[in-house]
Structures are given as C-alpha cells and as structure tokens.
Amino acid sequence: MVIGITCYPSAGGSGIVATELGQQLASRGHQVHFVSYALPFRLDTYQANLMFHGVEMTAYPLFKYPPYTLTLAAKMAEVARNFKLDIMHVHYAIPHAICAYLAKQLLETNGGVNHAKIITTLHGTDITLVGADPSYFDITRFSIMASDGVTAVSDYLAKETIEVFKLDKDIRVIHNFFDDKRFKPGARGCQRSEFVAEDEFLLAHVSNFRPVKRIMDVIDTFDKIRQELPARLVMIGEGPETILARRQIKKRGLNDRVILLGNQSRVEAVLPCADLFLVPSEEESFGLAALEALACGVPVIGTSGTGLTEVVDDFRNGFLLPVGDTASMARAALSLLKDPNRLAQFKKAAGEGAKAKFSADRIVTQYENYYQEVYDA
C-alpha cells in the first residue's frame, strides 16, 4: 500500500510508535511517506521505500501563532495527490486528525478524486489530558468521528475514549510494539561498568519529563532504594521537569548517584544494563518506555490503574503500585534486588513476556490487516 504517516517528530511515545511503524511497513514493501515539521526523532537512517516530506512554515508578523494546522493539511493533501496515498495514518489526534480531514476535503474539491482513507491512532494524552480539555473537546470528538478508522494503543485508552467522548464508534485496539532485533535482553552494546561498579545495582527511567511522569517520585523511590542498597539511577529524556529534577537530585545529595543522559535516540544501547525500570506515572495509556525496558530484560516498577496493567505482568515481570506510593515502590524494588534468584526470574519473564505479546512481527500485521479492512470498507 502507499501510506502517509503524520506524527509529532519530537521524542514522545506517539512519534516513536509512528516512526517504528513506518520503518516496519517500509521493510515489508509498503511505500511510506512521513509528513511532519521535522524529521522524526528515531528516523535517523536511510531506508528503501521511506520518504520524508517537511512542512515549511511561512512567518508573517500578523501571525501571533503560525497556523501549522493549515500548512500541514495542505502538505498532506499535496503528498496524498502526488503519491496516490491509500491511507493517511495520523498519530495523536490533536491536530493531526483534523488536518487529515481537511486534506481530504481539499483533495475532493473541484471534482478531485481522493481514495485515501484516514486512520487516527489515539495515544493517550490526546484523549486523557488535552482532548478532554473543554477548548479541544468538540473538535477532537469531531475529528475522531470523521476518521475512517480509529485505533487506540490499549484497551484502557479505548474505554477511556468511549467514556470521555460518549462515542458510538468502533475503536480497534492495536497495542504498541518493539523491534525485537534491536531491543533484546543482555548487555549487548552497553557497558554496565560505564554506569555502576560491580557491586552496585542500576535503575533506569526514560520519559519526556512532563508532570504526568511524576519525576519526583522516580527520584524519591530511588533515594529510598539507595539508602538500603548500593545503586545508581540513569535517567533518559528531557522536558519541563528536568530543572526540578536536577534541583531535587542536588538537594538530596544524589549528584554522584544519578546520571542524567538527556534525550537518546538509541535507548536500547543503555536499557539492557539496568536491573529495574521505574515508571511511576500519574497516567499512562500504554507505557512504551516500560515495554522497551521489558524487551531488554528489565523488570518494571510502575503504577496500577493505568494502561501499564496491559504491558506489565504484575508479580511476574514487575510490580504495579498506587500512584504516589513511593514507599511501596521502593519496598517492591528492594524485595527483588535483595533476592538474586527472583530478580533473575523476573528479568527472564520480562524479555519473554514482551516478545510473546508485543513483538513488531505480531503487531505490525495487525496494522496491515486493519489498513486493508478500512481501505476496502
């Protein structure tokens, strides 16, 4: 098929899923066209069947807020027309779903023919935080209803979407996935000794450092752990809470215990070195970062009542605890770290569980089948 993919190019989960999906589809022989304002974060190597179309913005003094939505819609229409797209797949509803709708209208004006179907993939905060905000609610609901197909990255998110928007629409759940050729257990490509001494444990965290990730809980949980066991924490990513994190790390005297790596496009080079992954988020529709950790053989300490329940097998390859309960998170982590046999079992179950449920081979086929189904409808 000829597939257009629109996503945020920044280092967030939705852009990463969109990029990895495009790469997988291209390697299966589909022609994939990315449309965005910058080259997506993980789209860093040439690949056959894969093209990128940048959205150029024209600055004009009248525009306090440059109208990216309009420029993007026009670009999507241009790419759809020039390359005869079969599918316009947009990731993160706001504003991409409404841009796809506009692009379709543009293509169909003046007797134009459009055969591209719009598929919107909902990722989480586009529904739970931003979409539910009164200023975006109606337009988000409209753009979901106007899509030819809608997918959500978890049952949790699909239910939340139906509930929040009172929708009568089929939402197909297609879970996130990982490339098992890159994300593997074992310390390949990463030197544990770069982060910890031989007798120390390594904890890891990856996120965009937004308030929803509860970065202070990551630091607090780690602080409690390292008071009982020799350990270090490696934190990957950056965002609005990075400054607060640095301040907190300093205040607690953890400067030599916490390594802040900033954004890294190849997290699979670091994750296999870790013993445990911390993701104490307030909300998580799925938790791609947690899946990538599991895939690398790293058990997860995360939050219950979120989409993480579909990713982590509680008491098998991780522990899920109430939001904010850093005492229980630290206790769960310590119980594992102090029991080498159990830790080894959890690490094994992490890699196996991830591969059995979320390998690219399995999930990308679900997207291909869904594309065909929506195209034929």
Where on the chain is the footprint of ligand GMT (CB under 6 A)? 12-15, 17, 92, 123-125, 153, 176, 207-208, 212, 283-288, 307
Least gap, CB of 280 to ligand GMT (angstroms): 12
Rounded to 5 degrees, what are φ and ψ at 261?
-90, -10
Alpha helices, DSSP H, located in 227-376: 242-251, 288-295, 326-337, 340-358, 360-376
d(CA 359, CA 366): 11
Q: Phi and psi for 146 in degrees, rounded to 5?
A: -80, -10
Report the residue number, 107 or 278, with the smaller CB distance to ligand GMT: 278
Nearer of residues 225 and 287 to ligand GMT, judged by Cβ: 287
Residue 12 Cβ vs ligand GMT, minimum distance, rounded to whole Å: 3
Nearest distance in Å: CB 156, ligand GMT: 9
Residue 29 CB-half CA count within 13 A = 1
Which of 78/282 has CB closer to ligand GMT? 282
Nearest-approach distance from CB 299 to ligand GMT, in angstroms: 18
DSSP count for the chain of H helices, then E strands: 12, 13
Tokens in use for 154?
A: 């978890």
Name, in order, each residue with C-beta under 8 angstroms of 243's C-beta and a sequence gap of 6 or more: none
Q: How far is the CB of 249 from ligand GMT (least distance, A)?
A: 21
What φ, ψ does residue 260 adopt, rounded to 5°? -100, 110
Query: Which CB, 249 or 308, lies closer to ligand GMT?
Result: 308
Q: Would you say 9 or 185 has its CB closer to ligand GMT? A: 9
Report the residue number, 105 or 263, with the smaller CB distance to ligand GMT: 263
Cβ distance to ligand GMT smaller for residue 123 or 355: 123
Q: How far is the CB of 197 from ligand GMT (least distance, A)?
A: 31
Write down the least CB distance from residue 63 to ligand GMT, Å. Answer: 26
The distance of closest approach from Cβ of residue 192 to ligand GMT in the complex, given in angstroms and rounded to an integer, is 26
Which CB, 22 or 307, lies closer to ligand GMT? 307
In angstroms, the CA 175 to CA 177 distance is: 6
Which residues touch 65 (CB under 8 Å, ≥6 apart)? Answer: none
Tokens 């609610």 correspond to: 137
How far, in Å, CA of 213 to CA of 205, rounded?
A: 10
Q: How far is the CB of 112 from ligand GMT (least distance, A)?
A: 32
Burial class (CB in 10 A: 0-12, 13-18, 19+), 111: exposed
Taking the mean position of all CA atoms in its chain, how far away is CA 93? 14
Cβ-based nearer residue to ligand GMT, 76 or 152: 152
Q: What number of CA atoms fall less than 13 Å from residue 357's CA on the CB side? A: 18
What number of residues does the chain have?
377
- Give the pair of three-digit tokens for residue 148: 């030819």
